[in-house]
Amino acid sequence: MFDVFRPAREIRTELGRYRLLSPSAAIRVSPLCLGAMSLVDQLLDTLYEAGGNLIDTANNYQNEQSEMIIGEWMEKRGIRDGIVLATILPSASTGTNEGKFEGIAANYCGNHKKNLRLTVESSLKKLRTDYIDLLYIHWWD
């Protein structure tokens, strides 16, 4: 439970001085975002221990492993609520059946409901979470 009388957390580095992402978004993020195209647990630990909380990933980074690595890392440490996760709606989803399209794949791309649903469901599963903080539309339609 949130305690309004709890003392403010200690800020160990400037990375821990969170800023509003935008005036219309109530999300506070570290001034540095870790891009997760290539990463290891030690890098994630260093970011988090220094006060960083913003991680940018995508369901197709690192041959579809990036989100799985981040999800496992957060779950092991029990820190999901302390992380701001950003991921991408790509121009084409990986479809079903572990990335292999079945049948006609024409509607697995673009910024429409099917691609959005498949991509978000896949990302939630890989990230081991039930919500994504920021979803980028990576491609205009």
Give the catalytic positions in this structure.
61
DSSP 141: -
Q: Give the HSE-up count for residue 8: Cα atoms under 13 Å, Cβ half-sphere.
A: 6
C-alpha torsion sign, points 101, 119, 41, 36: positive
Give the span between the Cα atoms of 121 and 141, in whole angstroms. 21
Q: To 10 degrees, what angle do helices 113-127 and 66-77 make?
A: 40
**Are the C-beta atoms of residues 52 and 34 closer than 8 Å to each other?**
yes
